Amino acid sequence: MRKSISKSENHNLIESLTANNFLFQDLDRSLLAKYLTSEQLIAEKLYSSRPVYTAFGNDTSLEYLYAIVKGGPVVVRSTPLDRIIDITYANSCFGMRNLALSFGNVSRTFPSLVEAYKTADVIKISLEAVKAVHQECEIFRQRYGLMFELQEKFQYHLLNCSTYPPQAVAALLRALVYQERELGNQPQTDGIFLFDLPIEIIAKACQLNHRTVEQVLKGMMKVNILKPQKGSHNDLVYVINPEELKAVYGATRDKVSWWPLK
Protein backbone atom coordinates (compact mmCIF):
# COMPACT_ATOMS: atom_id res chain seq x y z
CA MET A 1 0.00 0.00 0.00
CA ARG A 2 1.49 3.32 -1.06
CA LYS A 3 1.76 6.19 1.35
CA SER A 4 0.00 9.37 0.23
CA ILE A 5 2.10 12.53 0.17
CA SER A 6 1.12 16.15 0.79
CA LYS A 7 1.27 18.97 -1.75
CA SER A 8 4.36 20.38 -0.05
CA GLU A 9 6.09 16.99 -0.16
CA ASN A 10 5.17 16.66 -3.83
CA HIS A 11 6.57 20.14 -4.48
CA ASN A 12 9.83 19.12 -2.76
CA LEU A 13 10.11 15.99 -4.93
CA ILE A 14 9.71 18.07 -8.10
CA GLU A 15 12.27 20.56 -6.78
CA SER A 16 14.70 17.71 -6.22
CA LEU A 17 14.19 16.38 -9.75
CA THR A 18 14.61 19.76 -11.47
CA ALA A 19 17.66 20.66 -9.38
CA ASN A 20 19.69 17.48 -9.82
CA ASN A 21 18.27 14.82 -12.13
CA PHE A 22 19.55 14.67 -15.71
CA LEU A 23 16.14 14.04 -17.29
CA PHE A 24 14.30 16.78 -15.41
CA GLN A 25 17.00 19.35 -14.70
CA ASP A 26 15.89 22.96 -15.32
CA LEU A 27 12.60 21.93 -16.95
CA ASP A 28 9.55 24.16 -16.56
CA ARG A 29 8.29 23.43 -13.05
CA SER A 30 4.74 24.51 -13.86
CA LEU A 31 4.68 21.94 -16.67
CA LEU A 32 6.02 19.23 -14.38
CA ALA A 33 3.57 20.16 -11.61
CA LYS A 34 0.75 19.61 -14.09
CA TYR A 35 1.72 15.99 -14.67
CA LEU A 36 3.85 14.97 -11.68
CA THR A 37 1.06 15.08 -9.14
CA SER A 38 1.10 13.42 -5.74
CA GLU A 39 -0.68 10.44 -7.30
CA GLN A 40 2.12 10.00 -9.85
CA LEU A 41 5.18 10.20 -7.57
CA ILE A 42 6.41 7.88 -4.84
CA ALA A 43 9.46 8.50 -2.65
CA GLU A 44 11.05 5.20 -1.72
CA LYS A 45 14.22 3.78 -0.16
CA LEU A 46 15.89 0.85 -1.87
CA TYR A 47 17.94 -1.18 0.58
CA SER A 48 21.34 -2.57 -0.30
CA SER A 49 21.66 -5.99 -1.94
CA ARG A 50 17.90 -6.38 -2.30
CA PRO A 51 16.31 -6.96 -5.71
CA VAL A 52 14.31 -4.05 -7.12
CA TYR A 53 12.84 -5.97 -10.04
CA THR A 54 13.76 -8.49 -12.72
CA ALA A 55 14.32 -6.70 -15.99
CA PHE A 56 13.16 -8.08 -19.33
CA GLY A 57 10.78 -10.68 -17.99
CA ASN A 58 8.52 -12.38 -20.52
CA ASP A 59 5.65 -10.09 -21.55
CA THR A 60 6.19 -7.79 -18.57
CA SER A 61 6.95 -4.10 -18.29
CA LEU A 62 7.39 -1.61 -15.47
CA GLU A 63 4.83 0.84 -14.17
CA TYR A 64 7.43 3.36 -12.94
CA LEU A 65 10.60 5.14 -13.95
CA TYR A 66 13.16 5.27 -11.11
CA ALA A 67 15.08 8.50 -10.45
CA ILE A 68 17.96 8.14 -7.99
CA VAL A 69 18.10 11.08 -5.58
CA LYS A 70 21.05 9.93 -3.49
CA GLY A 71 22.92 6.79 -2.54
CA GLY A 72 23.46 3.79 -4.74
CA PRO A 73 24.79 2.75 -7.15
CA VAL A 74 22.07 0.56 -8.65
CA VAL A 75 23.39 -2.33 -10.74
CA VAL A 76 22.07 -4.85 -13.24
CA ARG A 77 23.31 -8.46 -13.01
CA SER A 78 23.24 -10.98 -15.82
CA THR A 79 22.78 -14.71 -15.42
CA PRO A 80 24.30 -17.26 -15.09
CA LEU A 81 27.70 -15.51 -14.74
CA ASP A 82 26.34 -12.89 -12.31
CA ARG A 83 28.19 -10.28 -14.35
CA ILE A 84 27.37 -6.62 -13.65
CA ILE A 85 26.32 -5.10 -16.98
CA ASP A 86 24.97 -1.71 -15.96
CA ILE A 87 25.72 0.82 -13.19
CA THR A 88 23.53 3.82 -12.36
CA TYR A 89 24.50 6.58 -9.95
CA ALA A 90 22.58 9.38 -8.24
CA ASN A 91 21.06 12.12 -10.43
CA SER A 92 20.29 9.61 -13.16
CA CYS A 93 17.41 7.20 -13.85
CA PHE A 94 16.89 3.52 -14.52
CA GLY A 95 14.04 1.41 -15.80
CA MET A 96 13.60 3.10 -19.22
CA ARG A 97 14.31 -0.08 -21.16
CA ASN A 98 11.45 -1.80 -19.34
CA LEU A 99 8.87 0.95 -19.82
CA ALA A 100 6.38 0.81 -22.70
CA LEU A 101 7.61 4.14 -24.06
CA SER A 102 9.97 5.20 -26.85
CA PHE A 103 12.78 2.66 -27.43
CA GLY A 104 11.55 0.71 -24.41
CA ASN A 105 8.84 -0.71 -26.67
CA VAL A 106 11.45 -2.58 -28.71
CA SER A 107 14.23 -3.07 -26.14
CA ARG A 108 14.55 -6.79 -25.53
CA THR A 109 17.15 -9.05 -23.94
CA PHE A 110 17.22 -11.83 -21.35
CA PRO A 111 15.99 -11.55 -17.73
CA SER A 112 18.45 -9.65 -15.52
CA LEU A 113 18.33 -8.76 -11.84
CA VAL A 114 18.23 -5.06 -10.90
CA GLU A 115 19.38 -4.30 -7.35
CA ALA A 116 20.60 -1.43 -5.21
CA TYR A 117 24.22 -2.34 -4.51
CA LYS A 118 24.13 0.27 -1.75
CA THR A 119 21.04 1.81 -0.16
CA ALA A 120 19.49 4.45 -2.43
CA ASP A 121 16.73 7.03 -2.15
CA VAL A 122 14.62 7.11 -5.31
CA ILE A 123 11.58 8.84 -6.72
CA LYS A 124 9.29 6.51 -8.65
CA ILE A 125 7.47 8.31 -11.47
CA SER A 126 4.45 6.63 -13.00
CA LEU A 127 4.54 5.57 -16.65
CA GLU A 128 1.47 7.76 -17.27
CA ALA A 129 3.32 10.85 -16.03
CA VAL A 130 6.51 10.03 -17.95
CA LYS A 131 4.49 9.60 -21.15
CA ALA A 132 2.79 12.97 -20.64
CA VAL A 133 6.05 14.86 -20.07
CA HIS A 134 7.67 12.98 -22.96
CA GLN A 135 4.89 14.11 -25.28
CA GLU A 136 4.86 17.73 -24.12
CA CYS A 137 8.57 18.51 -23.74
CA GLU A 138 11.10 18.22 -26.58
CA ILE A 139 14.12 18.62 -24.27
CA PHE A 140 12.85 15.73 -22.16
CA ARG A 141 12.43 13.58 -25.29
CA GLN A 142 15.99 14.31 -26.38
CA ARG A 143 17.41 13.48 -22.96
CA TYR A 144 15.27 10.36 -22.72
CA GLY A 145 16.67 9.13 -26.04
CA LEU A 146 20.22 9.92 -24.91
CA MET A 147 19.74 7.67 -21.88
CA PHE A 148 19.23 4.70 -24.21
CA GLU A 149 22.30 5.70 -26.21
CA LEU A 150 24.43 5.88 -23.07
CA GLN A 151 23.30 2.44 -21.93
CA GLU A 152 24.28 0.96 -25.29
CA LYS A 153 27.68 2.67 -25.16
CA PHE A 154 28.26 1.48 -21.60
CA GLN A 155 27.70 -2.12 -22.62
CA TYR A 156 29.88 -1.59 -25.71
CA HIS A 157 32.75 -0.61 -23.39
CA LEU A 158 32.16 -3.78 -21.35
CA LEU A 159 32.23 -5.87 -24.52
CA ASN A 160 35.73 -4.48 -25.05
CA CYS A 161 37.00 -5.84 -21.73
CA SER A 162 39.87 -8.13 -22.69
CA THR A 163 41.50 -10.84 -20.58
CA TYR A 164 44.39 -8.42 -19.90
CA PRO A 165 43.54 -7.06 -16.42
CA PRO A 166 44.72 -3.41 -16.80
CA GLN A 167 42.78 -3.06 -20.06
CA ALA A 168 39.66 -4.67 -18.59
CA VAL A 169 39.56 -2.35 -15.57
CA ALA A 170 40.32 0.64 -17.80
CA ALA A 171 37.39 -0.33 -20.04
CA LEU A 172 34.99 -0.14 -17.10
CA LEU A 173 36.44 3.14 -15.83
CA ARG A 174 36.28 4.62 -19.33
CA ALA A 175 32.63 3.56 -19.56
CA LEU A 176 31.85 5.35 -16.29
CA VAL A 177 33.86 8.47 -17.18
CA TYR A 178 32.03 8.75 -20.50
CA GLN A 179 28.60 8.05 -19.01
CA GLU A 180 28.83 10.43 -16.07
CA ARG A 181 30.44 13.20 -18.14
CA GLU A 182 27.62 13.03 -20.71
CA LEU A 183 25.06 13.15 -17.90
CA GLY A 184 26.73 16.23 -16.45
CA ASN A 185 27.42 14.53 -13.12
CA GLN A 186 31.22 14.51 -13.49
CA PRO A 187 33.95 15.65 -13.22
CA GLN A 188 34.07 17.28 -9.80
CA THR A 189 34.99 20.96 -9.52
CA ASP A 190 38.67 20.00 -9.24
CA GLY A 191 38.51 18.03 -12.50
CA ILE A 192 38.63 14.63 -10.78
CA PHE A 193 36.15 11.87 -11.67
CA LEU A 194 34.99 10.35 -8.39
CA PHE A 195 33.12 7.03 -8.29
CA ASP A 196 31.73 4.97 -5.44
CA LEU A 197 33.00 1.75 -6.97
CA PRO A 198 33.59 -1.24 -4.66
CA ILE A 199 36.13 -3.83 -5.79
CA GLU A 200 33.36 -6.43 -6.09
CA ILE A 201 31.55 -4.33 -8.70
CA ILE A 202 34.76 -3.97 -10.73
CA ALA A 203 35.46 -7.70 -10.42
CA LYS A 204 31.91 -8.65 -11.48
CA ALA A 205 31.88 -6.21 -14.40
CA CYS A 206 35.35 -7.15 -15.70
CA GLN A 207 35.22 -10.87 -14.80
CA LEU A 208 38.37 -10.67 -12.69
CA ASN A 209 39.09 -11.88 -9.18
CA HIS A 210 39.25 -9.41 -6.29
CA ARG A 211 43.01 -9.72 -5.77
CA THR A 212 43.73 -8.92 -9.42
CA VAL A 213 41.48 -5.86 -9.28
CA GLU A 214 43.27 -4.63 -6.17
CA GLN A 215 46.64 -4.99 -7.90
CA VAL A 216 45.45 -3.15 -11.03
CA LEU A 217 44.13 -0.26 -8.95
CA LYS A 218 47.45 -0.04 -7.09
CA GLY A 219 49.28 0.02 -10.41
CA MET A 220 47.06 2.80 -11.72
CA MET A 221 47.75 4.81 -8.57
CA LYS A 222 51.49 4.20 -9.01
CA VAL A 223 51.46 5.81 -12.49
CA ASN A 224 49.06 8.61 -11.43
CA ILE A 225 45.99 7.52 -13.36
CA LEU A 226 44.15 7.17 -10.06
CA LYS A 227 44.53 9.08 -6.84
CA PRO A 228 45.06 7.15 -3.59
CA GLN A 229 41.93 6.66 -1.52
CA LYS A 230 41.33 8.91 1.45
CA GLY A 231 40.90 7.62 4.98
CA SER A 232 38.40 4.81 5.43
CA HIS A 233 36.51 5.44 2.18
CA ASN A 234 37.85 2.29 0.55
CA ASP A 235 35.15 2.09 -2.12
CA LEU A 236 35.92 5.48 -3.68
CA VAL A 237 37.90 5.58 -6.93
CA TYR A 238 39.45 8.92 -7.98
CA VAL A 239 40.29 9.14 -11.70
CA ILE A 240 42.75 12.02 -12.09
CA ASN A 241 44.08 11.31 -15.58
CA PRO A 242 41.29 10.17 -17.93
CA GLU A 243 43.52 10.66 -21.01
CA GLU A 244 46.11 8.20 -19.72
CA LEU A 245 43.23 5.90 -18.81
CA LYS A 246 42.25 5.98 -22.48
CA ALA A 247 45.75 4.77 -23.41
CA VAL A 248 45.45 1.80 -21.03
CA TYR A 249 42.00 1.06 -22.47
CA GLY A 250 43.66 0.69 -25.89
CA ALA A 251 46.46 -1.55 -24.56
CA THR A 252 45.38 -4.81 -26.18
CA ARG A 253 48.67 -5.63 -27.95
CA ASP A 254 51.07 -3.04 -26.52
CA LYS A 255 51.14 -3.94 -22.84
CA VAL A 256 51.54 -1.36 -20.10
CA SER A 257 54.95 -1.10 -18.44
CA TRP A 258 53.67 -1.31 -14.87
CA TRP A 259 51.97 -4.71 -15.13
CA PRO A 260 52.38 -7.18 -13.58
CA LEU A 261 52.75 -5.05 -10.48
CA LYS A 262 56.11 -5.51 -8.78
* Share above pLDDT 90 across residues of the chain, in percent, rounded to a whole number: 82
Identity of the amino acid at 173? L
Which residues, other chains included, contact 153 with Cβ-Cβ below 8 Å and sequence gap of 6+? 175, 178, 179
Residue 142 has a CB neighbour count (10 Å cut-off) of: 9
87 burial (CB, 10 Å; 0-12 / 13-18 / 19+) is: buried
Phi/psi of residue 42, each to 5°? -135, 125
158: closest CA among 206, 212, 216? 206
pLDDT in tens, 177-209: 999 999 999 999 999 999 999 999 999 999 999
Average pLDDT, the chain: 93
pLDDT at position 80: 84
Task: Calculate mean pLDDT across residues 16-36.
Answer: 94
Determine contact, residues 157/175, Cβ cutoff 8 Å. Answer: yes
Task: Calculate mean pLDDT across residues 93-97.
Answer: 96
pLDDT band at 1 (very low <50, low <70, confident <90, very high): very low
Task: Calculate mean pLDDT across residues 220-246.
Answer: 90
46: DSSP letter: E
List of domains in the chain: 7-146 (2.60.120.10), 160-249 (2.60.120.10)
